[in-house]
Structure 1
Amino acid sequence: MAEAKRILIIEDEADMANIMRDFLTVSGYEVRVAGRGADGLELLRSWSPKLLVLDLTLPDIDGIELCRRIRAESVVPILILSARGGETDKILGLGFGADDYMTKPFSLGELTARIGAHLRRSEMQAPSSAADDGRETGMLSFGELEIDRRAYRVSLGVREVQLSAKEFELLHFLALHAGQVFTKSRLLDAVWGIDSPGDEGTITVYIRRIREKIETDPSRPLYLKTVWGVGYKFDGGRERAV
């Protein structure tokens, strides 16, 4: 089966994991299941799935911590599942690099729809599929900040900045339209897609995470500016596209 269809489920409830595996298999995906976080990390490295479904409650590693570890070494989309429906867990999960969050119980149809949406978005945003128009595939430079669309790499002076795939896409979109103000809804559509199941709070979380990584003082940002009552804009001074 095509590598692009690989889904890794990290879930310690065997019945739940098997139901998801069987449903996704019938839907055309190649699925593997890990019941422990350590096993999930091993499969991530050896099998190279295209999306992870991650439960927050695991017997060996806290799901939020596992999400952080995964994001430190991979840009694979992460969809969190949790019986913990509190806003704090959702913010933490998204803040540590997850791309989506679903609360148990959930519909298998909705799970499949979200997985499909994230995979389509990943394929559309892959460097090899970018339009070769000089800006979309080139380097954007704003003083010390450089954004390389072809390599999915961001650097600040001599330091490489580690961003998740969605963090990169959000930063790149705003930088590509420097000076233009976007609402949260518009950013959600542009980066996650119009069929995204996410909400506007996702944008707030991601903007904060990006600021923590590229701004000297995140409370007084140089690049990602808040336009109160409207949304956000990128303001990095004069830029050049190579």
Structure 2
Amino acid sequence: MSGQSILVVDDEKEIADLIEIYLKNDGYNVYKADNGEDALSIVGKYPIHLVILDIMMPGLDGLEVCRRIRMDKNIPIIMLSAKSQDMDKIMGLTTGADDYITKPFNPLELLARVKSQLRRYIYLNPKARIEQRQNADIVQASDITIDKSCHRVYVGDREVNLTPTEFGILLLLASSPNRVFSSEEIFEKVWEERYFESNNTVMVHIRKLREKIEVNPRNPQYIKTVWGVGYKFED
């Protein structure tokens, strides 16, 4: 994972989902919001490194969201809009956006602009360079935070105590959200030993891990069983 988190703000679910796919495939952590209020809440709560922000939204529009983010943060903001008039671009940029792209757009072009803005932000911002090094040790998946440097895990604001094996399983699954791992793959990556058929070790540790991080272990929110295949962390 890149360790960089990007917030996608768009009330058109299909567009937000498409952008999410491309960003996650490139290793970014992705948060999504479909309105301005939720977007500001996420920026205030999580370490966001870049915002992709649609202008036309109900309630708080993208321009107002941009203004409010700029009150105390200098993270890159890329505006999205169906409008292509020069005046609309000028308004977006003068509000505080760093870049502007019109719909429909090529996702690969958007991805290239994301990389460019992040490179510029980190290169020109010493604090961001420090945060980048620190964030390499942090895995954020849903509301679970994993600190690799000190082997700590938080569910929301609550710290949970995991054994080294439980920590290894959670780190493996959460580092690749929604990817399904077989029991064999989990065992060989975490235990670093050869897996033998009918080995229930992974299942037992998954159960214990769920008891510590899930509200209802019988109906898990985070670690899902994919019957006949394995387990995944659902983000």
Retained in 1: the 8 A contact 2:5–2:49?
A: yes
Shift of 1:2: 4.8
Shift of 1:75: 0.5
The percent of aligned pairs where both chains have the same amino acid is 41
- Within 1, Cα distance between the matches of 2:64 and 2:87? 14
Code of the residue aligned with 1:26 in structure 2: it is: N
Structure showing greater Rg? 2
Residue 84 (structure 2) pairs with residue 76 (structure 1)? no
| Gap regions ≥5 residues in structure 1 | 131-242
Within 5 Å, which residues of 2 pair with 1:12-91?
A: 12-91=11-90
Residue 26 (structure 2) pairs with residue 9 (structure 1)? no
The 3-state SS of whatever aligns with 1:73 is coil
The 3-state SS of whatever aligns with 1:66 is helix
- Within 1, Cα distance between the matches of 2:127 and 2:25? 29
Number of paired residues?
129
The Cα offsets for residues 150-173 of structure 1, whole Å up to 9 and x where unpaired, read as xxxxxxxxxxxxxxxxxxxxxxxx
Code of the residue aligned with 2:58 in structure 1: it is: P
Code of the residue aligned with 2:55 in structure 1: it is: L
- Within 1, Cα distance between the matches of 2:127 and 2:77? 21
RMSD value, Cα: 1.5
Distance 1:74 1:105, change over 3 A: same
Shift of 1:115: 0.3
Distance 1:128 1:106, change over 3 A: same
The Cα offsets for residues 116-152 of structure 1, whole Å up to 9 and x where unpaired, read as 001011111112589xxxxxxxxxxxxxxxxxxxxxx
The Cα offsets for residues 41-94 of structure 1, whole Å up to 9 and x where unpaired, read as 000010121000000011111211111111112111000000011111110110
Q: What TM-score results when the alignment is normalised by the length of structure 2?
A: 0.53
- Residue 126 of structure 1 is matched in structure 2 by 125
The 3-state SS of whatever aligns with 1:61 is coil
Retained in 1: the 8 A contact 2:7–2:30?
A: yes
Distance 1:14 1:129, change over 3 A: closer
Code of the residue aligned with 1:99 in structure 2: it is: D
- Within 1, Cα distance between the matches of 2:87 and 2:74? 23
